[in-house]
Structure 1
């Protein structure tokens, strides 16, 4: 059974290219910075992940922690206009696979860096398979968030098909029987078809960022962050030999929790009851290297 091609639900707001790809180094950054008119340091913490793996949650936590901000709304109420206004109040960079720095902001002057780990840093999101060789931002720390592949599939289907299927996209696919085609396609490609061209497979992505033979990123499992976020985010600060305020971190979790869109358990456990034994075995075979490395089971 062939999986239907998902349609992207929401428009991509990250359209304003602020800094084009350029040779790394102070000269390249300064030229781009002057051209864009932004006053940022040029150094960054790169928060990397395959799509739908907790990247935004992690970036929101880091920004809220650095700026000492807390939400003035009910984080559980997704219909509260104040919620979206709050989440859009702090802008960051996004680095695409070509090394271009893009953002949802309309003016480069709105892009800021924050005081984090005792230095000025841009919080830079990327879904690129590796940090691009040509980028004006210099990642002084690479943080990779990995999520169980079946959780990624579940979250991706909900996100990509919510316009067509509504809020219960995953439930609708399961009820119709179409989920089998999406699962088969995911196993064959070792990732989500919609993300294949720009970001590659899930397996290659997590391997590329965490392979000890390369410039390995410090990695956290999404599932562990959800279970004990203060402890897990504290490990990042420890790795940077930077002080970590647990009380401030607890406050910063409010904004981070506000951006979660799919609960843990609606992925691996939820789809686990749907997959056939044959699909489970093929998934184990397809993702074997990463399952062992990150202590995941199917």
Structure 2
């Protein structure tokens, strides 16, 4: 059993972009892999099949308390589902809820963590969940924030934006590779190249270049327009929105900007989203302190 390599992020931070790159890299096709086939290469920890198998009951008859208690067993089942390492998408914060870990350490081999400026996360989060920007800002600053169960997906404990990042990037002993969304936008070849090296994948320049092209935002958006995307929220018109950095400058009121910075100040300082005067920056600055991430 190879265990689980987590692809972790706060919602709307670039997790799907990273999965798109890896799926196209692994598929190695002459054309882009269909966006609804990404789950061939990376599963989700929100899927309910393991819980139904463990209990012998339909998901609607399993409450959140039981899901929380069974989560370690469900993750062990995910790890055992393939002989090799399983890539598993998660939006969970690393924590212990009522005695059960949100991320089971016994089957965790490492993680890739994708971080994005919370000023850009909040508008995308609002669009995805069908809420207004003020509510999204409150959620990103809320240590009790979670995604409720919906359809056939389990609930997810998120916590606040900065607590989420710290839980992964400061986890003791976790082999974790840190990707910042803004760095991937600025230098995708460098950012994704570092990911390939962290994963120990063989260097193949032509294959790498194709995966970069096939996972570009324009290609992903065009595929969604043509065939839809199973991960699109029913609250949103589309999954792939702008895909840019700095869109917050045209959206926030001064009061909204102040509220989000106040709630995320320490994390924004640490990860380069505020300058030395605690003013938001257009592009991310160098990391001010050691993140604890490896790779």
What range describes the TM-score normalised by the shorter chain of this pair? 0.5 to 0.7
Does the 8 Å contact 1:70/1:252 carry over to 2?
no
Does the 8 Å contact 1:153/1:192 carry over to 2?
no
How many residue pairs were aligned? Answer: 218
**Correspondent of 2:186 among 224, 227, 233:** 227
| 2:252 aligned with 1:288 | no
* Distance (Å, rounded) in 1 between the aligned partners of 2:272 and 2:192: 19
Higher relative contact order (CA 8 A, sep 6+): 1
Name the structure 2 match of 1:9. none
Q: CA 1:60/1:285 → structure 2, altered by over 3 Å: closer, same or farther? A: same
Name the structure 1 match of 2:45. 95
* Distance (Å, rounded) in 2 between the aligned partners of 1:56 and 1:184: 22
Name the structure 2 match of 1:264. 243
Q: CA 1:269/1:57 → structure 2, altered by over 3 Å: closer, same or farther? A: closer
Name the structure 2 match of 1:122. 86
| 2:84 aligned with 1:146 | no
Which blocks of at least 5 consecutive residues in structure 2 are unaligned?
A: 47-67, 96-100, 149-154, 222-239, 275-279, 281-295
Name the structure 1 match of 2:209. 250
SS where residue 215 of structure 1 aligns?
coil
> TM-score scaled to structure 1, two decimals?
0.60
* Distance (Å, rounded) in 2 between the aligned partners of 1:206 and 1:134: 14
Q: Residues 5-24 of structure 1: matches in 2 within 5 Å?
A: none
Q: CA 1:139/1:256 → structure 2, altered by over 3 Å: closer, same or farther? A: farther
**Shift in Å, 1:55:** 1.1
Q: CA RMSD in A?
A: 3.6
SS where residue 140 of structure 1 aligns?
strand
Name the structure 2 match of 1:207. 166
Does the 8 Å contact 2:4/2:109 carry over to 1?
yes
Which blocks of at least 5 consecutive residues in structure 1 are unaligned?
A: 1-40, 74-82, 114-119, 162-172
**Shift in Å, 1:88:** 5.3
> TM-score scaled to structure 2, two decimals?
0.60
* Distance (Å, rounded) in 2 between the aligned partners of 1:253 and 1:229: 8
* Distance (Å, rounded) in 2 between the aligned partners of 1:185 and 1:226: 27
